[in-house]
Amino acid sequence: MTRYIAFADPSGGRGDSFTAAIAHLEGDRAILDCLYERRAPFDPSTVVGEIGVLLKSYRISEVTGDRYAAEWVVSAFQKEAIRYRQSERDRSALYLDALPLFTSGRARLIDNARLIHQLATLERRTSRLGKDRVDHGANGADDVANAVAGALTLAVAKRGFVVSAEALAASAIPPRIPPRGRGRFDGGRAMLTTRMGFGSVDYSDFRK
């Protein structure tokens, strides 16, 4: 049985997106299966409920994520019968961890323009002490990229990232359905992308 792994990047609903990614390991390759993004504004409790339903559809009972509003996030997911684990690695470390997956062609993505854009515009800087740090540029965003990097690295459970146009082009999986429409979740501000493509999804379908 395939074991799916989830990673979330929570948000309070005012500025940043609330994102979650689901991945699994296939041989030595990390496969991204599903990507959820709810763009602000939104009610974070409602979004946690949506993500909870989505995770259960993949038989996932645990999700890892950053330490945003730590206690509230843990409690909110607990109400959905999902255990929330705080990641020991920050977003920069996750991006650096993902390096071997992209450079070796062991990462398989889904066709999502925001994901590709966020990965391609990440900036890698080296401090005076020689420590590398990866983050988005000024006025940029990386909520989607962070969730994906977390899910992929957790799927292979290894450490080690350079985002190049060549690596991204090689790792992207073309959608099986034409990219039309948006996944709609309880109000229409959420976007759901899966390996089956980027199509119209009704949130009520996940509650059946």
For the stretch 151-164, pLDDT in tens is 999 999 733 333 34
| Domain at 4-207: CATH code | 3.30.420
Q: Label residue 139 exposed, middle or buried (CB < 10 Å: 0-12, 13-18, 19+).
A: exposed
Whole-number pLDDT of residue 134: 84
Whole-number pLDDT of residue 165: 47
* pLDDT at 203 > cutoff 90: no
Backbone region of residue 165 per phi and psi (left: phi > 0; alpha: psi in -120 to 50; beta: other values): alpha
* pLDDT at 196 > cutoff 90: no
- Kindly state the helix (H) or strand (E) to which residue 133 belongs, with its residue range: strand 132-136
* pLDDT at 17 > cutoff 90: yes
Mean pLDDT over the full length of the chain: 79
Report the sign of the C-alpha dihedral through residues 111, 113, 114, 115, in that order: positive
Neighbouring residues of 9: CB distance < 8 A, sequence distance ≥ 6: 16, 17, 18, 19, 20, 65, 66, 68, 91, 143, 146, 147, 150
Q: What is the mean pLDDT of residues 177-191?
A: 43
* pLDDT at 104 > cutoff 50: yes
Whole-number pLDDT of residue 82: 97
Distance, in Å, from the CA atom of 53 to the CA atom of 49, rounded to the nearest integer, reads 6
pLDDT band, residue 53 (cuts 50/70/90): very high
Contact 47, 36 (CB under 8 A): no
Distance, in Å, from the CA atom of 41 to the CA atom of 189, rounded to the nearest integer, reads 8
Parse the chain into domains and list their residue ranges.
4-207
101: three-class secondary structure by DSSP: helix
